Amino acid sequence: MNKQKSNNKMKFNIYWIYLLIGIFFIGIQFSNNSSNGKKTNWQNVKENMIKNNDIEKIVIMNREKANVYVKQEAIKSKDIYKNINKNPIGGEIRGPHYYFIIGSVENFENEIKTTCENLNINEINVEYINKKDVFGELLSWIIPLLIMIGIWLFIMRKMSGGGSGSGSQIFNIGKSKASLFDKNKVNITFKDVAGLDEAKEEVQEIINFLKNPKKYTSLGGKIPRGALLIGSPGTGKTLMAKAMAGEAQVPFFSLSGSDFVEMFVGVGASRVRDLFKQAKMKSPCIVFIDEIDAIGRSRAKQNIPGSNDERENTLNQLLSEMDGFESNSGVIIIAATNRVDVLDKALLRPGRFDRQIFVDLPDLKEREAIFKVHMKPLKTDKSVDINFLSKQTPGFSGADIANVCNESALIAARKNKKIIQKQDFLDAVDRVIGGLEKKNKIISKNEKKVIAFHEAGHAIVSWMLKYASPLVKVTIVPRGKSLGAAWYLPEERQITNTEQIDDELCATLGGRAAEEIMFGKISTGALNDLEKVTKQAYAMVSVYGLNKKIGNLSFYDSSGRSEYNFTKPYSEKTAQIIDEEVSKIIEKAYQKAKNILTKHKKDLVTLSELLLKKEVLFKEDLEKIFGKRKADESKE
């Protein structure tokens, strides 16, 4: 609201400047005209004016222009001077009254001399002046200046975020870019946030602080100044912060960490100052900074001196502002990040973001709840089973689920349906995971067969292994970049042991193993699998200390300081052992996968043929072939 107003005023001012410049030019033009007199020629001057002795003087300007001043009494008395420009203010008509262009000064002097001698009158008074053409001069430096200002304005406008605003953006460059939602505009409450019960509990406490600060301060307690929402993208951090504002009925400032960053030095810091100034005026309120890692990255990580002073200044300003405001001023800063490990430790000290709230990816139950929230506005069929859908979407974030719900409506509409059905949801899930179905990707029959065996290999190996994640579905429909995929339901567990990782590696290598067994050769189609396996195996050995030979060592550095170091924290010899051990682990897993597949070669063929026919197989289809999975049975 406020911003809008000031914008209008700015525009108005700029138009004033344009107007002034316009008037200025017109004025110059006008004054020039009136003082120039009428154009005439030497003949006329000689024959009519000099002859009658009407001329007071002639002024030669810049050696090229003769300005003729006629005697006042002649003007008054003679008719031929009636056409002289009138003085707009009235009174005497001051000269020059006529002008003409002369060839050369010397010739002109001679002309006058002879004319006067011939006519036998006193020689006419001739003066010389060198007058600069003010108008031309002005133009010659005003125009380049105007062009330069124009270019500058253009660049500034581009820099300060798109050409949306007016030129006034330059003046606002140090202003914070936060968008303000007033308290009656935030209509999101906890009802809109599904799941996340622990996070809600913590947030509720902050809401209580905002609503009733006295209760806490009267006992001498200090209200926390900030909270950090930590979680992967799309898990509802922004949503949570908005709900917080909605529940507490306070204004809500929202901006992203990258909004502070600009090319100009000092802009970030000044934006931070401005943000806090605005927030204090609206107190009590909530300031939400998304992706705080854009400015809050650990300062220790910069080994190159002066490489990013600007970000550091911004961070320092943020820290000092947070220290600066009174703890009971009623401004609470909520920041969101998915990389808490890279944040500067100073941000996490008490008095700053001292509360950390984890916003995890939703589990099965929470996914159900999120589906419920987002299905409310949709017209769905009875065939849509929320529980089934939640099972099909392991690892989905809240945003993904919201996306699935929206996609399903679009897909149903594309098929001209009046109501959304189960299949539309399944298509939407596939689409969200893999991107658009590539119906016309050209895949030869042979390639399709290789893909089918590869995916069937994954499916069978994971089916037979005790600790591998249970399969959800396997498909050979090409989507986005992938040609096929096997999806698993990752178990919700906090720690993983060696056997589990081993089995996972084995299942990931199952694709390539199947290719080798069936066709006797391997292909490039396993790139993703190999990358995953390699990373995991190196992590086992050098990070998690799961290898006997290396022992209980971890070369992981949580401070992140080593990220830019070229030296490894271990010796050459250790490096060699690590490489050897990783190679051994992967080779062992590959052999195991091959053994399993050789044993179940018949099943592998059955499954891949079925896959070629149906393209998508669910867990239930596999159960029909192999019976219930042993690992699942033993769990039940």
Residues at the contact surface with ligand ADP, assessed by CB under 6 A = 193-196, 231, 233-239, 336, 370, 373, 398-399, 402
373 interface partner picked from ligand ADP, Zn ion, none, CB below 5 to 8 A per type: ligand ADP
Q: Which two tokens stand for residue 71?
A: 């005697």
Q: From the CB of 481, what's the least distance to ligand ADP, in Å?
A: 24
Asked if 511 is part of the footprint of Zn ion (rule: CB under 5 A), the reply reads: yes
Residue number of the CB closest to ligand ADP reads 398
Q: From the CB of 429, what's the least distance to ligand ADP, in Å?
A: 16
Asked if 365 and 238 touch (Cβ cutoff 8 Å), the reply is no
Q: Which is nearer to Zn ion, 478 or 511 (CB)?
A: 511
Q: Which is nearer to Zn ion, 259 or 529 (CB)?
A: 529
Asked if 507 and 517 touch (Cβ cutoff 8 Å), the reply is no
| Number of shown-chain residues binding Zn ion (CB under 5 A) | 2
To the query of whether residue 109 is one of the catalytic residues in this protein, the response is no
Q: Give the binding range for Zn ion (CB under 5 A) out of 74-82, 256-264, 352-360, 529-537.
A: 529-537
233 interface partner picked from ligand ADP, Zn ion, none, CB below 5 to 8 A per type: ligand ADP
Distance between first and last Cα of the chain: 60
**Sign (positive/negative) of CA torsion 203, 208, 210, 216?**
negative
Q: From the CB of 295, what's the least distance to ligand ADP, in Å?
A: 17
H or E element that contains 233:
none
Q: Which is nearer to ligand ADP, 338 or 423 (CB)?
A: 338
Contacting residue, 368, 400, 407, 529, with Zn ion by CB under 5 A = 529
Give all strands of the β-sheet with 331-337 in edge-to-edge order.
Answer: 179-181, 252-256, 285-290, 331-337, 226-230, 355-358
Q: Which is nearer to Zn ion, 208 or 482 (CB)?
A: 482
Coil, helix or strand for 59?
A: strand
Q: From the CB of 199, what's the least distance to ligand ADP, in Å?
A: 9
Q: From the CB of 427, what's the least distance to ligand ADP, in Å?
A: 20
Q: Give residue 583's identity as a one-letter amino acid code.
A: S
CA torsion 30-35-38-42 (nearest 10°) is -140
Q: Which two tokens stand for residue 627?
A: 């019976």
Q: From the CB of 398, what's the least distance to ligand ADP, in Å?
A: 2
Nearest to 351 by CA among 473, 502, 527, 224: 224
Binning the chain into helix, strand and coil, the percentages to the nearest 5 are 55, 10, 35
Q: Which is nearer to ligand ADP, 75 or 402 (CB)?
A: 402
Per this entry, what is the length of the chain?
Answer: 636
DSSP 436: S
115 interface partner picked from ligand ADP, Zn ion, none, CB below 5 to 8 A per type: none
Q: Which is nearer to Zn ion, 98 or 590 (CB)?
A: 590
H or E element that contains 99:
strand 98-101
Q: Which of 291, 310, 455, 581 is catalytic?
A: 455
529 interface partner picked from Zn ion, ligand ADP, none, CB below 5 to 8 A per type: Zn ion
511 interface partner picked from ligand ADP, Zn ion, none, CB below 5 to 8 A per type: Zn ion
Which residues, 6 or more positions from 439, have their beta carbon under 8 angstroms from its beta carbon?
none
Interface residues toward Zn ion, by CB under 5 A: 511, 529
Just list the catalytic residues.
Answer: 455
